[in-house]
A = this chain, B = another copy of it.
Amino acid sequence: MAAETLVSLLAGEPCRFSAWVAMPEPLVAEASARAGFDCVTLDMQHGLHDPASVMRCIGAVALAGKPAVVRIPVGDFAMASRALDMGAAAVIAPMINSVADAHAFARAMKYPPIGERSWGPVRAMQLAGATDPVAYLRGANGQTLAFAMIETREAMALVDEILAVQGIDGIFVGPSDLSIALANGGSVDPLRADNVEAIGAILAAVKAAGKFAATYAITGAQARGYAALGFDLVAIGSDGGYLRAGASAMLAEAGAQ
């Protein structure tokens, strides 16, 4: 249904923006897709999604003609394969803190010989309008993207090794967790100077490796900054945040006290 695939969107200019959806409701995912974002990310880690809502919401996002991205729970690589079977265009895996984590993620995301993704893309083929299994098998590894999250000191130290893992298509920087890690748990502040510097270093490594760089911005202004730095994809805010911001603006306009 999607007019343009996520891969082709990210391959070009300019920076693309993703909605960030925590509520497990297809109408919310669909409304987010229709609101002007390039794609919609469904969050299973800190958001309220589960496999059932992910499946329903990928369909709802497809109805709005946009690709869907899924962030899985920590270490649930079986879910990475399932998200692809459900029609996700990309998967974000949090807390990839070792090369072994990266390999496990890549194995779940890619068909042989790169990985060990198991065969069964009935729903994904249906949503993509694909009918030839062998063509799908041969194309899937290039069309569905694996984003490894870098958000700890250990991961930062291994960023080049993680980027070198075949099947990892890009890095998704986690600014909040990274800021906690750099502060040894003392604070959370994505905009702290040391954190901004670390994000820049990771971005440089990703660019050097020729892979996709993505991250998360709490506000539109932050997103503009990440885009200016050269990120390919930036997720912004959250569904609850969009709703609250829009409601607040209307209430202010109404003169509510």
Contacts and interface: CB of A to CB of B under 8 A. Distances in A.
A243 B246 CA distance: 6
A254 B231 CA distance: 13
Interface string A208-241: 0000000001011101100100000010111111
A29 to B, nearest CB: 11
Count of this chain's copies in the oligomeric assembly? 6
Contacts of A138: 186
In which size bucket is the chain A interface? 35 or more
A245 B249 contact: yes
A45 B82 contact: yes
Nearest to A55: B48
Contacts of A170: none
Given A63-B59, A236-B250, A239-B243, A181 B112 contact: yes
Interface stretch (A120-128, A159-167, A194-202): A120-128
Given A52-B24, A78-B75, A94-B118, A249 B246 contact: yes
Nearest to A225: B254
Q: Which of A75, A108, A221, A256 has the most CB of B within 10 A?
A: A256
Nearest to A56: B26
Contact of A37 (B23, B53, B247): B247
A51 to B, nearest CB: 4
Contact of A48 (B78, B123, B180, B248): B123
B220 A253 contact: yes
A4 to B, nearest CB: 14
Interface of A: 1, 14, 17, 19, 22-28, 30-32, 34-37, 43, 45-48, 50-53, 55-56, 59-60, 62-63, 73-79, 81-82, 85-86, 94-95, 108, 111-114, 116, 118-123, 126, 133-134, 137-138, 151-152, 174, 176-177, 180-181, 184-189, 217, 219-221, 223-224, 227, 234, 236-257
27 contacts: A17-B256, A23-B25, A23-B27, A24-B52, A31-B240, A34-B126, A35-B243, A37-B251, A46-B119, A48-B51, A48-B123, A50-B50, A73-B81, A74-B78, A95-B116, A95-B118, A112-B181, A112-B184, A118-B151, A122-B240, A134-B187, A137-B185, A137-B188, A221-B253, A237-B250, A241-B250, A243-B246
